[in-house]
Amino acid sequence: MALFGKRKKPSKLIEPGPQKVSLLKQPVLYKGLLLLATCLIIASLISPRIPSTVPSYKVGDVSDQNIKALQDLLIEDTASTTAKRLENEGKSSSIYDFDADASEEVRNRVGATFKHLRTILEDSAEKRSMDELRVIFGENLEIDVTDKHFKSFATNRFGSNVAEFITSLIDDPLSEKVVVDKAVLQSDRIKGITIRSVQTQEEFLLNDLSSIRDLEEMKAEVRKSAETKLKRLSRSLRSAVVTTAQQLIRPTLTVNKNETQARKLTARDSTNPVYFTLKKGEMIIREGDRVTEEIFLKLQTLNQMKQETNPLISTIGIFLLVLMIVSLFYTFFPGSIRRFNLKGKDYLLLSLVLVAMVMIINASTFLSGAIGKAFPIVPTDAFLYGTPFALGAILIAIVLNVELAAMFSVVLAIMSGILLENQLRFFVYPFIASIVAAQQVVLCKERSTLIRAGLITGLVNVLLILCFAIIEQNLFNFEALFHLSFGFLGGVLTGVIATGFVPLIEITFDYTTNIKLLEIADLNQPLLKDLRIKAPGTYQHSIMVGNLVDAAADAVGANSLLARVSAY
């Protein structure tokens, strides 16, 4: 047994016990919680802001503060709308019903009445008094007839020729447009009237009302016509015929009040409201100014918008939108490129940088309004162009890689467009600036590279702003000059801020960037000094190997700095 050495003691079996597992060490749960937290923070930052209170002023009050419009508004001018509706209602013409068959209807009624009375007189079995016959005569013709005139008709045995005398006098008058009194047309002389046929319901507008006659004119015309048509009749019969004919004259043109009123209401209700536009940032009232009718109307609209808008619903919608966008960034994009192997701290860094960039953009919008109030000569958009949009892409490109920085640029550009009122230019501007900045810091080996990247980004910002100004035909003015200046300043500011933030990220998250590798590769490192003194041969060998792998890495497009430091 000795030949084989000492017998080993049997090892004790360690029974597995319950182990504590950190939630953050579970990749799926960790990423899910981080995703939800990031989206909630971003949604709360970019959700629309509505003032909690709008002062309740009355017309004539003096404002104790400056009040601006927080968004573009269309405000109904109630006074102008009411005036326009009344105007259109007044332009609506009155509806008159025209009875084209009035002459024929009266002719038939006169003929039937005379025939009926003639039949009664000829029928010996009919025993009717003259009073009863007069009542029948009056009821059938709907007129009042005197005893004297009725006796004249009875004396002539209600002959058909007498009926023809009456109808000959009323045929022409009842064929014309006759109203009770022309005075009712005074209010319609300018706009005309709409005449609608009772029989066919066809309508036409009559502007010239001179052709319309009234009852008195028609009665006078009947009397004048009788002088030529009835000159052979006896005085008593002629008087009875003329009086009866005059009583049978009735209006052929009558106003339809119900239809007229209905069309006036339709004309009023179909009138489009009159609006005036209130632009975002436009001053509604300044401190010390008196509230006018128009200002009161604008303040009422702001109050109504506050009551009708629910910020919680908007925030939920924005959260869902942000969740979809960031989910693609966290899951689809990295998973589609095999060389991405992101760790927990990588996802945390991406979330923090994205939230920080949204906060910077949000702060820029606030500061632009505040500084714009202090310096009215500087346009508000100029401060927005000065925002360091490319800062996040530079940090991601240096600490992680340029591909992730490009994906980050897309997400940030979408967030920027949403936050800055869905303007296309504030999607294009951050996106291109971020892509250019990230490309400039690929394999960054000097801190001065960050400053150079900021300068190049500033120049690209200037070119983008020039494009926007040309599209809007707003190039040759002071506003464009401010935009260009702040755009270049925003690029420079990006490089300066990135120079200070990269070391903080390296220390906080324990990342080794190319800049950190440069510090490690310094030959004055204490360890390399000791190696040079104690083992000079090994030191020279390490330097030569480092130079060889540096050249090899450059030849194949790899990170030569990382290869050289690893060789040391």
pLDDT tens sequence across 348-364 = 888 899 999 999 988 88
Average model confidence (pLDDT) for the chain? 81
CA dihedral of 524, 528, 533, 535, whole degrees rounded to 10: -160
- Spatial contact of 565 and 523, defined as CB atoms under 8 Å apart: no
Amino acid at position 395, single letter: L
Region 284-291: what's the mean pLDDT? 80
Amino acid at position 417, single letter: G
Comparing 4 with 195, which gets the higher pLDDT? 195
CA distances to 96, 191, 448, 557 from 204, in Å: 10, 13, 85, 87
pLDDT of residue 11: 43
DSSP string, 387-424: S-TTHHHHHHHHHT-HHHHHHHHHHHHHHHHHHTTT-T
With cut-offs at 50, 70 and 90, classify the pLDDT of residue 34.
confident
Q: With 50 as the cut, is the pLDDT of residue 1 above it?
A: no
**Beta strands in 32-125, from DSSP E residues, in sequence order:** 67-68, 73-76, 94-98
Q: With 50 as the cut, is the pLDDT of residue 20 above it?
A: no
Q: How many CB atoms lie within 10 A of CB 90?
A: 13
Which of helix, strand or coil describes residue 361?
helix
**Angular region, 158: left φ>0, alpha ψ -120 to 50, beta rest:** left
pLDDT of residue 33: 86
**What's the whole-model pTM score?**
0.57
Region 313-325: what's the mean pLDDT? 83
Q: With 70 as the cut, is the pLDDT of residue 226 above it?
A: yes
Region 447-460: what's the mean pLDDT? 89
Q: With 80 as the cut, is the pLDDT of residue 39 above it?
A: yes
With cut-offs at 50, 70 and 90, classify the pLDDT of residue 113.
very high
pLDDT of residue 15: 44
Comparing 423 with 66, which gets the higher pLDDT? 423
Interval 154-196: pLDDT, tens: 888 888 899 999 999 998 888 899 999 888 888 888 889 999 9
pLDDT of residue 308: 55
For residue 146, give both structure tokens: 């005197």
pLDDT of residue 132: 87
* Kind of pairing between the strands at 94-98 and 193-197: parallel
pLDDT of residue 22: 45
Which range among 126-130, 274-278, 304-308 shows the weakest confidence by mean pLDDT? Answer: 304-308
CA proximity to 330, closest of 353, 313, 309: 353
pLDDT of residue 432: 94
With cut-offs at 50, 70 and 90, classify the pLDDT of residue 306.
low
pLDDT of residue 458: 92
CA distances to 169, 178, 214 from 224, in Å: 10, 17, 16
Q: Which stretch, 18-27, 231-240, 458-467, has highest mean pLDDT?
A: 458-467
CA proximity to 329, closest of 451, 431, 411, 207: 411
- What string of H, E and C letters represents the secondary structure of 469-518? HHHCCCCCCHHHHHHHHHHHHHHHHHHHHHHHHHHHHHHHHCCCCHHHHH
Q: How many CB atoms lie within 10 A of CB 510?
A: 8
Q: With 50 as the cut, is the pLDDT of residue 24 above it?
A: no
Which range among 10-24, 289-303, 363-377 shows the weakest confidence by mean pLDDT? Answer: 10-24
Region 112-117: what's the mean pLDDT? 91
Which range among 15-19, 109-113, 473-477 shows the weakest confidence by mean pLDDT? Answer: 15-19
34/28 Cα distance (integer angstroms): 10
Region 370-399: what's the mean pLDDT? 83
CA proximity to 244, closest of 310, 324, 322, 167: 167
pLDDT of residue 182: 87
Which range among 160-164, 300-304, 491-495 shows the weakest confidence by mean pLDDT? Answer: 300-304
419/220 Cα distance (integer angstroms): 82
